[in-house]
Amino acid sequence: MFGVRIYTILFLLLPLSAISEDGSQLWLRYRPVSAEVAKSRTIHVNNKHETALLARQELDTYWKGSSIELKVQKKEAKLKQGYRIDSSGGTIRVIAFQPVGLLYAAYHLLRLQEMTMLGDELRVEEIPSYDVRILNHWDNLDGTIERGYAGRSLWKWAELPHTISPRYAAYARANAAIGINATVLNNVNASPQILDAVYLEKVKALADVFRPYGIRVYLSVNFSSPVVLDGMADADPARKEVQDWWKKKVKQVYALVPDFGGFLVKANSEGQPGPQDYGRTHAQGANMLADALKPYGGLVMWRAFVYNPTSEDRAKQAYLEFVPLDGQFRDNVILQIKNGPIDFQPREPFNPLFGAMQKTPQMLEFQITQEYLGFSNHLAYLAPLFKETLDSDTYGRGVGSTVARVTDGTWHPSGISAIAAVANIGEDSNWTGHHFAQANWYAFGRLAWKHQLSSEQIAQEWLKLTFSNDEQFVRPVTEMMMDSREALVNYMMPLGLHHIFAFDHHYGPEPWGDRKGGRPDWMPWYYHNADSIGVGFDRTATGSNAVAQYRPPLDKRYGDLVSCPENLLLWFHHVPWDYRMRSGQTLWDELCGRYDSGVQQAREFQKVWDRLENKVDPQRFNEVQSKLKIQTKDAVWWKDACLLYFQTFSKMRIPEHIERPVHELEDLKRIKLNMKHHN
């Protein structure tokens, strides 16, 4: 109490920008209302469910406005997990079908309050685009995080179930506030141990903390679990003993976690075990798990990211393996597909699997953690990337078959729709390493709730909630965020270039990379194919013919050098250095121009930020400022590395108006970053 008072006095004395914040409060920087305000209105709820009571409590603590009536109404099934809010006659009425709808409505109201956007009249109806809005944590049981750049895992497995970190509830609340309702706790490269009785007790403890916030727990499972945990001879899904093992295990899970969501499975990919080890198909493997989960309403999210040594173009693998299985999956299996056909590159075309399987429910997997986008060092706002995929037309059932509509239940109205993203959360005090990486977690939640929202609107919301309502801050920073992903594409891999990263850790540039004895599709040259004639991967009929996996008219559009969108040109074509681009410049000059504009954009972000010093609290100002320095340095590194290297093939001059390289290629080739990633 005393502490709170001192804080309040300090707060009144100092201008907002002078109070240090560490980012730990995310988009939930509400301050409790005074006792007088609390007394001046009532928050009433007609339901005793713990989630309904939580909705009431949040409003009671933070709501500054008039009285609110919260109601769960059984006849409102069409609202699903959503809500309706209207205000007339001084009272705000909130209707939901489920208690969690009231909680989402409470955060909606608080969000409007924080953004000072509460008009006199409220008339809102919100129904989420997806039923399951899920984060995938690639967290290992030893506390490391695969592709995590914000410290160690939030889950303290060694302390659980006895010690419950306060951050578990903070995590659940932050997610509930943006509509996320599910989480996969562990890495897709799953340790079988997660299904051991000792770990299931820990999982239960987390599920108990998350439940009031409407968050369901899922687990990644290892297909060989019966072998590793219980010494069974094999994990062949066609064998009755194996099927029974899974049934028993699932029963044990539901006894501890009655609302358990289901399993996420990476099988027969990158060395993980799977049904193919026994000559069975992905469908047979998935169906065995689906049958075990079915009596409890559990789901199987079966990943389509299959990446194995074959002679086929890597971009074609998922389609080749899964399309023949269409129609063979149980109805509680949903295929989880990465947004692009390779692997979370800064820009990829959408994965051609979307829309190609008419009978199998499909879900998107995005990556929030910036494995290929500068880790937590680069500011790259990802909503535009997410929207680019969601809005891509697959033509799967004619014009308008966008990835959003293929996945949001429009195609499979009787099934459960879902959308996933790999989290960027760790135990850093600001959760995500870079303050602006919080925006990507936020944006995923908001788009999973409503994929029609614009990137810009989400950026503004996030900025207002996280930093300030000051228009002079919000406007320029929104613009910077909106430009940031394209800037990164420019300085890393413009015009459809992809995967020319340093080996393994995927941070810096290594277009020259080559490893003795390594697989070709681990090597950057596999993807860029630079030679004396040109650069790019020929995926047309004269090359790998990956274009044929796209429905007409996309196969022709992508397959033709002239109609192919320029931002995907080198993804689909091997293009001569002197090819004339739409700008009239040669490919080489255009490439130089793109790299250079990426660098200039990064420099501009520094200026935008520095101008706003008096509008941001000092800690966050300084931390973002330091990260922007790294980003610009890295942008120059990328530009010099790629242009100097590609120049050894093009033999053309870097146009004079472009910033000159400041590195020697040979020096850049010697850089070896010590950033081993954990598997």
Active site residues: 270, 343, 371
Q: Which 239-278 positions form the footprint of ligand BDP (CB under 6 A)?
A: 266
Task: Name the 3-class secondary structure at 68.
Answer: strand
Please spell the DSSP secondary structure of 322-381, one letter per residue: HGGGTT-S-TTEEEEEESSSSSS-SS-PPPTTTTT-SSS-EEEEEE-S-TTTTTTTS---
Nearer to ligand BDP, 318 or 495 (CB): 318
DSSP state of 16: G
The angle formed by the CA atoms of residues 34, 38 and 40, to the nearest 5 degrees, is: 115
CA distance 551 to 549: 7
DSSP state of 315: G
Output phi, psi for 137, to 5 deg.
-95, 130
Number of residues that bind ligand BDP (CB under 6 A): 9
Name the residue with the smallest CB distance to ligand BDP.
343
Nearer to ligand BDP, 147 or 282 (CB): 147
Shortest separation between residue 23's beta carbon and ligand BDP, angstroms: 26
Asked if residues 192 and 208 have their Cβ atoms less than 8 Å apart, the reply is no
Positive or negative torsion for Cα 409, 415, 416, 422: negative
Pattern 274-313, ligand BDP, x by CB under 6 A: -------------------------------x--------
* From 343, 408, 461, 521, residue interacting with ligand BDP (rule: CB under 6 A): 343
CA count, 13 A, side-chain hemisphere, 320? 16
Shortest separation between residue 189's beta carbon and ligand BDP, angstroms: 5
* From 69, 76, 146, 479, residue interacting with ligand BDP (rule: CB under 6 A): 146
Shortest separation between residue 297's beta carbon and ligand BDP, angstroms: 26
Nearer to ligand BDP, 266 or 451 (CB): 266
Nearer to ligand BDP, 343 or 486 (CB): 343
Nearer to ligand BDP, 344 or 442 (CB): 344
- Any contact of residue 558 with ligand BDP (CB under 6 A)? no
Terminal CA-CA length for the chain: 46
Nearer to ligand BDP, 351 or 650 (CB): 351
- Any contact of residue 538 with ligand BDP (CB under 6 A)? no
Residue 400 vs residues 348, 392, 403: alpha-carbon distances, Å: 20, 9, 9
Q: Which 166-205 positions form the footprint of ligand BDP (CB under 6 A)?
A: 188-189
- Any contact of residue 21 with ligand BDP (CB under 6 A)? no
Packing angle between helix 471-492 and helix 618-650, nearest 10 degrees? 30
Shortest separation between residue 140's beta carbon and ligand BDP, angstroms: 11
* From 371, 510, 589, 590, residue interacting with ligand BDP (rule: CB under 6 A): 371
Asked if residues 43 and 63 have their Cβ atoms less than 8 Å apart, the reply is yes
- CA 309 to chain CA centroid, nearest Å: 27
Asked if residues 243 and 132 have their Cβ atoms less than 8 Å apart, the reply is no
Positive or negative torsion for Cα 135, 136, 140, 146: negative
* From 155, 344, 381, 491, residue interacting with ligand BDP (rule: CB under 6 A): 344
Shortest separation between residue 641's beta carbon and ligand BDP, angstroms: 21
Nearer to ligand BDP, 146 or 326 (CB): 146
- Any contact of residue 366 with ligand BDP (CB under 6 A)? no
Shortest separation between residue 570's beta carbon and ligand BDP, angstroms: 21
Specify whether the backbone of 357 is left (phi greater than 0), alpha (psi in -120 to 50) or beta.
beta
Shortest separation between residue 73's beta carbon and ligand BDP, angstroms: 41
Neighbouring residues of 188: CB distance < 8 A, sequence distance ≥ 6:
136, 138, 220, 264, 265, 266, 303
- Any contact of residue 507 with ligand BDP (CB under 6 A)? no
Nearer to ligand BDP, 218 or 449 (CB): 218
Shortest separation between residue 308's beta carbon and ligand BDP, angstroms: 12
* From 133, 147, 498, 615, residue interacting with ligand BDP (rule: CB under 6 A): 147
CA distance 140 to 144: 5
DSSP state of 260: -
Site for ligand BDP, rule CB under 6 A = 146-147, 188-189, 266, 305, 343-344, 371
